[in-house]
Amino acid sequence: MIERRQFYINGAWVDPLDGRDHEVIDPSTEEPCAVISLGGQADTDAAVAAAKAALPGWMGTPPEERIAALERVYAAYKERAEDLAQAMSMEMGAPLDLARSSQVGAGINHLKNFINAAKAFEWEKPLSPDHPDTRILHEAVGVCALITPWNWPMNQVTLKVGAALVAGNTMVLKPSEESPIDAMVFAEIMDAADLPRGVFNLVNGDGAGVGSQLSSHADVDMVSFTGSTRAGILISKAAADSLKRVHLELGGKGANLVFADADEKAVKRGVLHMMNNSGQSCNAPSRMLVESSRYDAAVEEAAATAAKVTVGPASEEGRHIGPVVNKTQWEKIQDLIQKGIDEGARLVTGGTGRPDGLNKGFYVRPTVFADVTNDMTIAREEIFGPVLSIMKFDTEEEAVRIANDTPYGLTNYVQSEDAERRHRLSRQLRSGMVEMNGKSRGPGAPFGGMKASGNGREGGSWGIHDFVEVKAVSGWAAE
């Protein structure tokens, strides 16, 4: 069993001041795989103090030196790729192939994109050609608390750390207690990058402990949080007393609009996207809306596709999906599947219980419901498991109304060969992102939502903007 009972504070691994032990559970086996310490107030205070002391020097470092530091992080990250993959596979259940490619690969891509964005970023510039004596400066927000989730650990850690670091901020990272080992490997990566002491700090803890302490800490200038909408509301309230900046990337209930003229792979693509990472993605296309003339065929195809999705241990290589992260999530998903049945949705594949042949581990049967209406619980709540709801629509206007009838607004999807329709829908769908015909967003594109899905943008230059203050200076001397 792995033992990791130290925190990374002020450039060194230190013993907790008032920590308590916490077992990390392997969701494939339901057995403990690691023991870590969860910090207390004294540990939080020590990490924040280290970040505060390091802030003047780091924010005053020229941008090119901060970029060089991020390049060192990028190089060290790639060297530890396998260690990161093994950790994430063990602690949160990502199958090894997915952990090596998508989970680790997301961090590689984000760090590279931040390097490119930072080199092109206008850290200071004249207001306009007519007013060159007014200068616009972009400088660090200050001490940043970075609170990250378990479902895409390195994706979220690198999105926050990369932007905060290159913008001149100092930081305290609190990863999820469900997936702390990969974050501790990441702290070793940051140590190998030879940053000034106190720029990066890590304290393990839970939301009620270290998370709340950071959110309300008087010396924290910004909280960047990814997780549930419920937790985001609590963080916002805790941060309000000190008027700190709060950046939130929260849940989603994405609609995937499949029109009659969609390409022949659209339904299969949507199902597999939904099942990816065992459905544990905030941008998952969990509501498939299908035009009525194609609906019956789409339901049949979706059921057949999901039935072929295999489920197995995260430690095995292959294209299967793994378990969900813990018992609490497993039980929540089971309850929601049963609620879908009870409320009248038509179960076309999957259902409650573990897949055949798996009697231990937090495994969920890939599940598809048809004839779902938007007032059903499975259409309203973020299930965060491999469960797809299919609905029917007759007109484009109806599809938009159903898609927007949700508290969330992270990602929506459109499948249609009609370019004019796609352009109309891109403006009508209330979400921070719209992906069409299976085309992914370009490198460095902003990730984030609106409404109950949050208020920030991560990635590329938009991610850097979220970690800077804008300062206007008049009377700038001519050079």
> What whole-number distance in Å separates Cα of residue 203 and Cα of residue 210?
8
**Does residue 282 have an active-site annotation?**
yes
200, 161 in Cβ contact below 8 A?
A: yes
Rounded-to-integer distance, Cα 158 and Cα 425, Å: 31
Tokens of 286: 């969990």
Active-site residue identified among 249, 291, 435, 458: 249
Q: For this structure, is 122 an active site residue?
A: no
8 Å CB contact between 228 and 251: yes
Question: What's the CA gap between 431 and 10, in Å, rounded?
Answer: 40
| Active-site pick, 144, 177, 178, 282 | 282
Supply angle C-alpha 58, 60, 63, rounded to 5: 85
Token readout for 249 is 């990337």
Question: Distance between CA 239 and CA 216 in Å, rounded?
Answer: 5
Structure tokens at 127: 């207001």
Query: Which of 10, 474, 441 lies closest to 203, judged by CA?
Result: 10
Which residues are marked as active site? 249, 282
